Amino acid sequence: MGNYVKELRNLIGSRPLILVGSTIIVMNDKQEVLFQHRSDTKEWGLPGGAMEVGESLEQTAARELFEETGLMANRFTFVNILSGKDFYFQYPNGDEVYNVITVYLAENVSGQLATKDDESLALKYFPLTNLPANMDMRAKRIIESWLSQK
């Protein structure tokens, strides 16, 4: 969690926040999608997170991709913006958020895949025909939306 969100939480506690952020779809050469096994919910989700003050959405995508996976992308292609009640989330600690998620597809990805923070238990690519059963609902909705546009 970034400093901005921590500061807001100190003021309002766990009450709902509207958070803007970026989620990144990373595909390998086998057309598999990268998922992270989240340490907070023990579910599989997509790399991404909240925007910090002064960042663009693309900068958020680049920072979150590197922080959570060790990967970098030469380019991010806009996929969609998703929001609304389907993107409500309550963290295990009780913090509530309504997410406004900008989804990007990472292109020309490089770097060494590695868990670089305490948000991930593992990182793994999954084929679109065999996605993880224990998937975060937001990730499921993001993938469904993305596939419906293809």
β-strand pairing of 17-25 with 96-111? parallel
Angle, CA 32 vertex, CA 148 and CA 68 arms, to 5°: 100
**At 3, is the pLDDT very low, low, confident or very high (cuts 50, 70, 90)?**
confident
Number of domains observed in the structure of the chain: 1
Residues above pLDDT 70, as percent of the chain: 99
What CATH number does the domain containing 144 carry?
Answer: 3.90.79.10
Can you tell me the distance from the alpha carbon of 35 to that of 52, in angstroms, rounded to the nearest whole number? 23
Total-model pTM: 0.92
Burial 53-77 (b: 16+ CB within 10 A, else e): eebebeebbbbbbeebbebebeebe
Please write the tens of the pLDDT for every residue from 22-40: 999 999 999 999 999 999 9
Residue 131 has pLDDT above 90, yes or no: yes
Per the structure, the complete domain to which residue 90 belongs is given by: 3-149
